């Protein structure tokens, strides 16, 4: 695959540092032993939050009343898209049964999880859309109890718009607590919440590491690293649009890689020339984040053909993959490894991040090679069942016993044998009558 690097990334997206792993392990141990009291101590110490952890209904109603109507309408518009897409996904997850042989019936059921914990990040940005993406998707999957938690924004607590989004999406309760302590609160069922069956939602390195360490007895959506984005562009693409799209994703943070692959060198040159000015025009702290992300992690690659670009994209397995090139149906059918695919110049990752409908909680750091993003399927258990009657019992018992003895598992074989013996006895009794 002939490719030429026009801009290389001198830095490398950081892996989870050992001190993060150790810190989270210590915190989780203390939180498991000390429960709500320790969680409250961490909230006071790390977030500076002096208020109650559980947000009361009266506070939510007051916050909702403060949100301007046009903002409510916009959040509701996005929520409608996200909920409708999740509902359509849910309709694809069906119960089924099949008679594999006469007398051997097997099937599957889709069972919603009982309780979900949805982490909504705060800090530099107010992630309204993340609240909708996780909570509404859980609700459409049929989860009965949904705890949402988010760190406070100073003395204000959770921002009004966020509380409105959480309530609209269907949170059963809202906790004003972030970080590892927020994850532990949902895991162990603190502050009036039941223990969660699954933890979902993006967060910083400490949140991601907490989810990783807790995974096993409790489910998680995925182990997510810094967000990443790849644009594929040919000579038909507009350099200004491509540059803006790259900068828009770089503002996520200094550790968020953005990449461009193109078959048209003049476009690459124009994009690279334009990006510094676009970054410089951003407000702080967005400017500094985007500037470092582009300088340390940004890459531009020149490919010979569209197929070379497609193979490059499959190798990268980007979280966000945006095609700004001719023949979009070919790209949709050809590309195989991405978290979410954005087709055409009129599409942008920003639409998917905020309001388009498909979920924006997606696999990062190459994980798109083996998994997709958050969906209703993450909140469903696909379980199987089987039922046997005497029509298939002789063959099924014989084959089971044969394979069991070949595996040297005599107990399994005898469990099959006894059923065959009982059937033989039953048939003999029936014949004598």
Q: Which range is least confidently modeled, 44-53, 178-187, 373-382, 419-428?
A: 419-428
Q: What confidence score (pLDDT) does residue 16 get?
A: 57
Arithmetic mean of pLDDT, 350-359: 96
C-alpha 118/C-alpha 173 separation (Å) is 10
Q: Is the pLDDT score of 200 beyond 80?
A: yes
- Give percent of the chain with pLDDT exceeding 90: 91
pLDDT in tens, 59-81: 999 999 999 999 999 999 999 99
Arithmetic mean of pLDDT, 367-388: 96
Cβ–Cβ contacts within 10 Å for residue 273, how many? 11
C-alpha 149/C-alpha 181 separation (Å) is 10
- Reported as a pLDDT band with limits 50, 70 and 90, residue 430 is confident
Which helix (H) or strand (E) segment holds residue 19: the answer is helix 18-46
- Reported as a pLDDT band with limits 50, 70 and 90, residue 2 is confident
- Average pLDDT of the chain, as a whole number: 95
Q: What confidence score (pLDDT) does residue 17 get?
A: 72
Q: What confidence score (pLDDT) does residue 115 get?
A: 98
pLDDT top residue among 15 and 239: 239
- Reported as a pLDDT band with limits 50, 70 and 90, residue 12 is low
What does each C-alpha distance from 286 to 119, 279, 281, 290 come to in angstroms?
23, 8, 10, 6
Q: Is the pLDDT score of 398 beyond 90?
A: yes
Helix 69-92 to helix 160-169 angle (10° resolution) is 30
3-class DSSP state of 167: helix
Q: Is the pLDDT score of 387 beyond 80?
A: yes
Active site annotation includes 319: yes
pLDDT in tens, 253-298: 999 999 999 999 999 999 999 999 999 999 999 999 999 999 999 9
Active site annotation includes 320: yes
Q: Which residue is catalytic, options 252, 320, 322, 360?
A: 320
Burial 375-395 (b: 16+ CB within 10 A, else e): bbbbbbeeeeeeeeeeebbee
Give residues with Cβ within 8 angstroms of 51, minimum separation 6.
152, 157, 176
- Reported as a pLDDT band with limits 50, 70 and 90, residue 338 is very high
32 neighbors 327 (Cβ within 8 angstroms): no
Q: What confidence score (pLDDT) does residue 1 get?
A: 54
Q: Does the global pTM surpass 0.85?
A: yes
Q: What confidence score (pLDDT) does residue 431 get?
A: 84
Q: What confidence score (pLDDT) does residue 117 get?
A: 98
Q: Which residue is catalytic, options 140, 161, 291, 319?
A: 319
Q: Is the pLDDT score of 13 beyond 70?
A: no
Q: Is the pLDDT score of 15 beyond 60?
A: no
- Give percent of the chain with pLDDT exceeding 70: 98
93 neighbors 113 (Cβ within 8 angstroms): no
- Reported as a pLDDT band with limits 50, 70 and 90, residue 207 is very high
3-class DSSP state of 386: strand
Q: How many residues does this entry show for the chain?
A: 433
- Report the sign of the C-alpha dihedral through residues 142, 146, 151, 154, in that order: positive
């Amino acid at each position: 695959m002939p490719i030429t690097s026009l801009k290389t990334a001198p830095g490398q997206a950081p892996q989870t540092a050992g001190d993060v792993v150790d810190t989270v392990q210590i915190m989780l141990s203390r939180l498991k032993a000390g429960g709500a009291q320790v969680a409250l101590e961490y909230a006071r110490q790390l977030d500076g939050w002096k208020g109650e952890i559980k947000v009361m209904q009266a506070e939510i109603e007051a916050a909702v009343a403060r949100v301007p109507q046009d903002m409510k309408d916009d959040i509701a518009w996005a929520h409608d898209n996200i909920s409708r897409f999740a509902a359509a996904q849910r309709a694809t997850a069906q119960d089924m049964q099949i008679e594999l042989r006469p007398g051997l019936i097997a099937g599957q059921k889709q069972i919603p999880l009982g309780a979900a914990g949805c982490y909504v990040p705060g800090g530099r940005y107010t992630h309204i859309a993340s609240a909708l993406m996780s909570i509404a998707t859980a609700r459409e999957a049929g989860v009965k109890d949904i705890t949402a938690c988010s760190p406070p924004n100073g003395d204000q607590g959770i921002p009004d718009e966020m509380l409105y989004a959480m309530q609209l999406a269907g949170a059963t309760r809202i906790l004003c607590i972030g970080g590892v302590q927020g994850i532990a609160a949902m895991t162990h069922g603190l502050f009036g919440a039941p223990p969660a069956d699954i933890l979902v939602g993006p967060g910083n390195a400490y949140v991601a590491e907490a989810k990783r360490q807790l995974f096993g007895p409790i489910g998680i959506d995925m182990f997510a690293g810094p967000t990443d984005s790849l644009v594929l562009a040919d000579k038909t693409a507009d350099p200004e649009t491509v540059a803006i799209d790259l900068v828009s994703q770089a503002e996520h943070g200094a550790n968020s890689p953005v990449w461009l692959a193109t078959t048209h060198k003049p476009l690459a040159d124009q994009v690279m020339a334009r990006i510094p000015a676009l970054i410089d025009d951003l407000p702080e702290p967005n400017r500094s984040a985007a500037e470092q992300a582009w300088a340390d992690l940004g890459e531009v690659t020149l490919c010979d053909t569209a197929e070379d670009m497609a193979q490059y994209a499959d190798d990268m397995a980007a979280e966000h993959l945006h095609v700004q090139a001719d023949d979009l149906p070919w790209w949709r059918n050809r590309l195989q490894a991405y978290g979410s695919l954005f087709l055409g110049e009129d599409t942008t990752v920003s639409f998917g991040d905020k309001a388009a409908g498909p979920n924006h909680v997606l696999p990062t750091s190459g994980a798109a090679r083996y998994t997709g993003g958050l969906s209703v399927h993450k909140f469903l258990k696909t379980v199987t069942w089987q039922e046997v009657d005497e029509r298939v019992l002789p063959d099924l018992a014989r084959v089971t016993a044969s394979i069991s003895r070949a595996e040297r598992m005599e107990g399994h074989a005898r469990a099959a044998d006894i059923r065959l013996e009982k059937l033989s006895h039953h048939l003999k009794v029936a014949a004598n009558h």
